[in-house]
Amino acid sequence: VRRLHEKLFYRPLLNAVARLDSGDARLSLEAASERLTALGYVDPEGALRHIEALSSGISRRAAIQRTLLPVLLGWFADAPNPDVGLLGFRRVSDELGGTPWYLRLLRDESETAERLAHLLCASRLATDLLLRAPEVVGLLSDVKELAPKSLEDLMREMSATAARYDEPDRAAQSIRTIRSRELFRIAAADANGLLSVPQVCQALSDISDATISVALQIAVEAVEANLAMPLPTRFSVIAMGRLGGRDVGYSSDADAMFVHDPLPGADEDVATKAAIAVANELRRLLSLPCADPELVIDADLRPEGRSGALVRSIASYGAYYARWSSPWEAQALLRARPLAGDESLSAEFMALIDPLRWPVDGISDSDLREVRRLKARMESERLPKGADPSLHVKLGRGGLSDVEWVAQLLQMRHAGEPGFEDLQVTGTLDAIEAASELGLMTAEDRDALEAAWCLATRMRNAVYSVTGRPSDQVPSDFSVLTSVAFLFGYPPEERAQLTQDYLRITRKARSVVERVFYEWE
């Protein structure tokens, strides 16, 4: 029945542009345009041009594409944006159409072709990554190929690849190419429903960890070459924010701090300048203009923020935190973890900050009031003007910030107490799970918070995947909401249900937040 449907409904669209003489084509094109409009194409004339470009001619490539297109057009029509899917297929085919294995793969492996069609319609992010390196379409041939690589495997491959190049820029570009491929792997698996939200976050965090770790090796070698001597200081990168919590999303920057410690006998000024050079070189290498997306390292969570020193010695960190540390800085340190560089220095830094973020006596009444004041101020001042607070996934009611601040408050209150060491974790879901296991919240409250956090994270990722732009708002635009709902698995006619489900789940989480965060004394 499906083959008959393709023959009767879709194949005439190819005939209209590929085989008819000019006298018949005019009428057939009009009918074809009407048929495409009925299928949901916004630009039927443009779609016909793509079909013509793909199917006209007598080459083997055109013949195979004439075989594929009726099936693909049917899959595209099942999605909310068939124009996007067809355009993406043409762009990928323009890049790979002359490659024998590409069309043969799609012709002989229907599941691969269907995954590609779904991906081209569902995820602009995955399509853009695919077009940067079209050969990665081969990953779609087997579901097992879409499984995330381990951090160890990523590190091994990136290190081996970077070692082939003497020039730092080329070495950095090589690892960014691997990163781009791995981002596609995750985006494709995510769009095809193969990964949970925590798995996506973990995989994206591993990719960032590996990229920064190997890029740091390149940066250190480049600085040592310029200095004509080994680095006169130990140097480490400390992950912060979402990277520290391994809660990375598609649009996340890499939050980090830099710490160094001059080697015995080294001049402190020389060591500091060398450490600054390493940090700047690392950031430069990961932001070089090239075909692959950059990885921005955001160091704004360091002491004194943007006005503070980019790199501090561990002694300077110790002096600062002993004298000036504020509740918000202790809260930010809850997500700090070693990422790259000197392992012993990283361990020393963790030992320095652990008493600050996990105080033995818990959080004081004055600090509790300050944390609550900061939360209220953030809700009132940082929420974009005109934004619906119930639909803002980051700062809105029951959104990411609500859930994360509850987890962090419980950590600041209890993690330093004997018997509560399981709270000494950097991930939001890990902290909530530990709090539940330790009896600090009910299983029902835990489930409500986890559901809201996962939904808000997935919403944020889905909007970025569909639009290619970061956004913290549940879409109000009809077409964007339809596309996001499609990624979630909602039928087009039930797109509004996604918003209603979001409101219901976050409303339940907000009730937990108000009880745990604001009522505890």
Q: Phi, psi at residue 255, to the nearest 5°? A: -75, 135
358 to each of 60, 289, 372, 417, 423, how far by Cα in Å? 67, 41, 18, 8, 9
Average pLDDT along the chain: 90
**Spatial CB neighbours of 294, under 8 Å, sequence gap ≥ 6:** 176, 286, 287, 288
What pLDDT was estimated at residue 172?
Answer: 98
User: Cβ–Cβ contacts within 10 Å for residue 444, how many?
Assistant: 11
**Residues 14, 78 contacting (CB under 8 angstroms):** no
Between 120 and 35, where is the model more confident?
120
Contact of 286 with 168, CB cutoff 8 Å: no
pLDDT for position 23: 41
Angle at 19 between CA 13 and CA 20, to 5 degrees: 90
Supply the DSSP string of 26-57, one letter for each residue.
Answer: HHHHHHHHHHHHHTT-S-HHHHHHHHHHHH-S
Nearest alpha carbon to residue 101 among 133, 155, 64, 154: 64
User: How far apart are alpha carbons 12 and 20 in whole angstroms?
Assistant: 10
* Cα–Cα distance, 281 to 260 (Å, whole number): 15
Look up the pTM and report it: 0.91
Q: What is the C-alpha separation between 88 and 74, in angstroms, rounded? A: 15
Alpha helices, H only, 245-364: 268-285, 314-324, 327-332, 343-357
469-518 tens-digit pLDDT: 999 999 999 889 999 999 999 988 888 999 999 999 999 999 999 998 87
Q: How many residues does the chain have?
A: 521
What are the phi and psi torsion angles at 339 (to 5°)?
-120, -55
Closest by Cα among 499, 506, 500 to 481 = 499
Q: Which residues of 475-510 are buried (b: 16+ CB within 10 A; e: fewer)?
A: beeeebbbbbbbbbebeeeebeebbeebbebbebbb
Q: Tell me the pLDDT band of 93, cut-offs 50, 70 and 90.
A: confident
pLDDT in tens, 370-424: 888 888 888 878 888 888 889 999 999 999 999 999 999 999 999 999 999 999 9
C-alpha distances in angstroms, 212 versus 47, 207, 256, 297, 336? 42, 9, 10, 9, 15
Beta bridge partners of 239: 256, 337
Q: 336-384 pLDDT, tens per residue?
A: 999 999 999 999 999 999 999 999 988 888 888 888 888 888 887 888 8
Give me the domains of the chain, ranges plus CATH numbers: 2-122 (no CATH), 151-357 (3.30.460.10), 365-516 (1.20.120.330)
* The two structure tokens encoding residue 50: 């793509």
CA distance linking residue 172 with residue 284, whole number of Å: 10
The H-or-E segment that residue 172 falls in is helix 168-191
- 21-33: average pLDDT: 55
Distance CA(10)–CA(21), nearest Å, equals 19
**Among residues 131, 238, 234, which one has the least CA distance to residue 181?**
131
- Whether residue 25 has pLDDT greater than 50: no
pLDDT at 4: 52
**pLDDT tens-digit readout, 302-343:** 998 889 999 999 999 999 999 887 888 899 999 999 999 999
On the question of pLDDT at 521 being above 70, the answer is no
Taking only the tens place, the pLDDT of each residue in 198-227 is 999 999 999 999 999 999 999 999 999 999
pLDDT score recorded for residue 71: 83
- For residue range 424-482, what is the model confidence (pLDDT) as tens digits? 999 999 999 999 999 999 999 999 999 999 999 999 999 999 999 999 999 999 889 99
Checking if the pLDDT of 18 tops 50, the result is: no
Please say whether the beta carbons of 200 and 275 come within 8 A: no
Give CA–CA dist 463/417, Å, rounded: 40
Beta bridge partners of 234: 261
pLDDT at residue 378 in the model = 83
The pLDDT assigned to 200 comes to: 98
- The percent of residues above 70 in pLDDT, for the chain, comes to 94
